Amino acid sequence: MSTSELHSRRTNGTSRAILDAARDLFAERGFEGTAVSDIAGVVGVADGAIYKHFPSKRAVLFEVIREFYEPVIDASESSLAGIDGIRNQLRYLIWLQLRAFAEEPEVCRLIIAEARPMEDYYQSEIAELNRRWTSLFVGVVSEGQATGDIRDDFPASLVRDLVYGGIEHIAWAATSGHGSIDPDRMADDLMRLVCEGLQPPPSSEDLDARVSRIEALLAEAER
């Protein structure tokens, strides 16, 4: 079984072709802007054939999103254990999300702007994937709070909302033509901001120096 088969339930045949065509068309024209017959036309089958493979147009969208989402989550779930330190783990998850937006902005747009406003989204498999994905993040934060690496005077879910909401905002603006995403730089900026906060780091040098001086003076005085 190939790597791709691990993550994709359909490796060839009409189902595969439908998903490929749908992904491209959805990305190009949006979900509403793509007719089922458009998809069928690109695949080269009759309209009705789509319904032998998927129960509805929406199911095609959800599957397109799943195919994009699931491998990332699978990979990160297994990779996370191999990363040392809470900070590194958080950075990894943030970087992964940023890279997804940078590489497949259209699919991300589909998720945010098309799938999420759908009324049955929260009952869908996509929402479940999203929960798996964000719970990875929450898990790391909670663990950090347990070990004391992360302060625990706010819920982990708040951090999740802040970080993922923030990434979406950043990516949305970038996708809308107001810039582009450099995952590495952006991950660094975000990590710094989220970990250390807005307040300037206490210039502990001064304190150090002064205490050191006192110590020196005292030590001398002692003799």
Residues that bind DNA (CB under 7 A): 13-15, 33-37, 44-53, 56-58
Q: Residues 6, 75, 146, 195: which binds a second copy (CB under 8 A)? A: 195
Q: Residues 155, 180, 182, 184: which binds a second copy (CB under 8 A)? A: 155
Residue 29 makes contact with a second copy by CB under 8 A: no
Binds 173, which of a second copy, DNA, none (CB < 5 to 8 A, cut-off by type)? a second copy
- Least separation in angstroms between residue 57's CB and DNA is 4
Residue 100 makes contact with a second copy by CB under 8 A: no
Q: Residues 48, 55, 82, 197: which binds a second copy (CB under 8 A)? A: 197
Per residue, what are the HEC states of the chain? Answer: CCHHHHHCCCCCHHHHHHHHHHHHHHHHHCCCCCCHHHHHHHHCCCHHHHHHHCCCHHHHHHHHHHHHHHHHHHHHHHHHCCCCCHHHHHHHHHHHHHHHHHHCHHHHHHHHHHHCCCCCHHHCHHHHHHHHHHHHHHHHHHHHHHHCCCCCCCCHHHHHHHHHHHHHHHHHHHHCCCCCCCHHHHHHHHHHHHHHCCCCCCCHHHHHHHHHHHHHHHHHHHC
Residue 55 makes contact with a second copy by CB under 8 A: no
Interface region with a second copy, contact rule CB under 8 A, candidates 6-14, 20-28, 62-70, 149-157 = 149-157
